Structure 1
């Protein structure tokens, strides 16, 4: 987890479990969102709805790769790091571990978005600098 500068601890809840007895696909995306929200707050503070200059963030897609099942009560570490910063977008990479074992990983591309104008925008310079730092 050392290549991830931000780590959020998380304990698997009963609401995260599906009929198969393990963490559901939807719960893993929620883990990514919880970690993303905490990561953004630690950067600035920023949020998904406010990265400055009247912009928020919108996610056009997400990617998840599962490596091991996760179960009720598991103590997880969710790592987040910035990847591929562009003019109006960037990627966040995620890694979920249980006691050092990789359980899931993924990425979410995020685009600076003006919710009032309903259009993508360039990343605000102060936010971009926070991502690069």
Structure 2
């Protein structure tokens, strides 16, 4: 079976730092796969906050994750500080992709590449809706 590859964007529009906590470590002594999903969730929330958006309110509608992918590049350990670079791309009528580059802040070693596919969702009607035009225009200016 061929390995998964994530085509990362040429540039990222947001950077944040998060420490690897003891609860992020698995029995192998390094950063666990489920912790990476949690860390990129925090990075995504911080990215949205810079535009005064939240996952439940982007110009009146919410978002829901449709898929996720992670490609592991190196180990991360308790106490390391991750630099998480975030970018957006692959826009369509209903959503887009977030891209995440996780690196060790101190050594610049890449820890993981990740992608989450997001779709816009009306939580009152419980259905997928079109991407808000204002959000799309704002993101295309930064992508």
* Band the TM-score falls in, shorter-chain normalisation: over 0.9
- Name the SS for the 1:59 alignment partner: strand
Name 1:131's counterpart in structure 2.
Answer: 139
Name 1:45's counterpart in structure 2.
Answer: 52
Name 2:13's counterpart in structure 1.
Answer: 5
Q: What is the root-mean-square deviation of aligned Cα atoms in Å?
A: 1.4
Match of 1:25 among 19, 25, 33: 33
Match of 2:96 among 71, 90, 95: 90
Name 2:62's counterpart in structure 1.
Answer: 56
The answer to whether residue 85 in structure 2 is matched with residue 74 in structure 1 is: no
Name 2:5's counterpart in structure 1.
Answer: none
Give the TM-score of the pair, scaled to structure 2.
Answer: 0.87
Give the TM-score of the pair, scaled to structure 1.
Answer: 0.94
Match of 2:113 among 77, 94, 105: 105
Unaligned runs of 5+ in 1: none
Unaligned runs of 5+ in 2: 1-9
Distance 2:94 2:136 in 1: 9
